[in-house]
Chain A
């Protein structure tokens, strides 16, 4: 079974400052890792994902996450945040054999990023 830990329930930061949202996972099998973002009154949107290959993955809006197998982490970072990045961010993991693809997603409890001017 897989599990995800997001230790920070809320991260306040000033606009244009860097931010890191932490995510640690546990699994007995190979995993696929995801970050989803949820804006107020909206559903979840996929921000980025790690399946295999390069351990550093990037999103189109400046976020990046690095898969660290030894530390079982998949922290999300952005060098300079905007007010519009204010949202809830969920880390998720799925496991299973490659030929069965994305199995059930297990989500962390989420981190609320609050960007202020």
Chain B
């Protein structure tokens, strides 16, 4: 089946530094990728939707200058948390939709646990 690889699985960084998370579709072309944030005991909160070759669409309340999303190719999207602070510590998950149309199923990565000290 379709696989989405997310890297790294865990990252610890110091406050004020930036962290990049990669999301790759390994065996299909992902025209659309979604980035979610998951808090403990909370649901997955959609942060943004990225379409290959265009600017990401951010959900209300998500700082686009802080969470930079790049979808430069059909197999790679990146999320960069800039000037990270402890409150950015969370579990980030990406999902990707194939090029089979709007009803293509979503495939999820295994997530990245970010800890900002």
Interface residues of A (CB under 8 A from B): 4, 9, 36, 41-46, 90, 99-102, 104-110
B81-115 vs A, CB cutoff 8 Å, 1 = contact: the mask equals 00000000000010101000111111011110000
A-B contact pairs, 10 of them (CB 8 A): A43-B4, A100-B102, A101-B101, A101-B102, A102-B103, A104-B34, A105-B44, A106-B46, A109-B41, A110-B43
Is B49 an interface residue when CB atoms closer than 8 A count as contact? Answer: yes
Query: Could you tell me if B49 and A104 are in contact, using CB atoms closer than 8 angstroms?
Result: yes
How many A-B pairs fall under 8 Å by CB? 49
Q: Specify which of A41, A104, A107 is in contact with B43 (CB 8 Å cutoff).
A: A107
Indicate the size class of the contact surface on chain B.
Answer: 20 to 34
Chain A nearest CB, measured from B93 CB (Å): 7
Q: Specify which of A36, A44, A99, A105 is in contact with B46 (CB 8 Å cutoff).
A: A105
User: In the docked arrangement, what's the CA distance between A29 and B23, Å?
Assistant: 32
Question: Contacts of A109 on B, CB cut-off 8 Å?
Answer: 41-43
Identify the closest chain B residue to A6 (Cβ): B43
Is B6 an interface residue when CB atoms closer than 8 A count as contact? Answer: yes
User: In the docked arrangement, what's the CA distance between A41 and B111, Å?
Assistant: 8
Identify the closest chain B residue to A51 (Cβ): B103
Identify the closest chain B residue to A49 (Cβ): B105
Question: Contacts of B105 on A, CB cut-off 8 Å?
Answer: 46
Question: Contacts of A110 on B, CB cut-off 8 Å?
Answer: 43
Query: Could you tell me if B103 and A101 are in contact, using CB atoms closer than 8 angstroms?
Result: yes
Identify the closest chain A residue to B1 (Cβ): A45
Question: Contacts of A99 on B, CB cut-off 8 Å?
Answer: 102
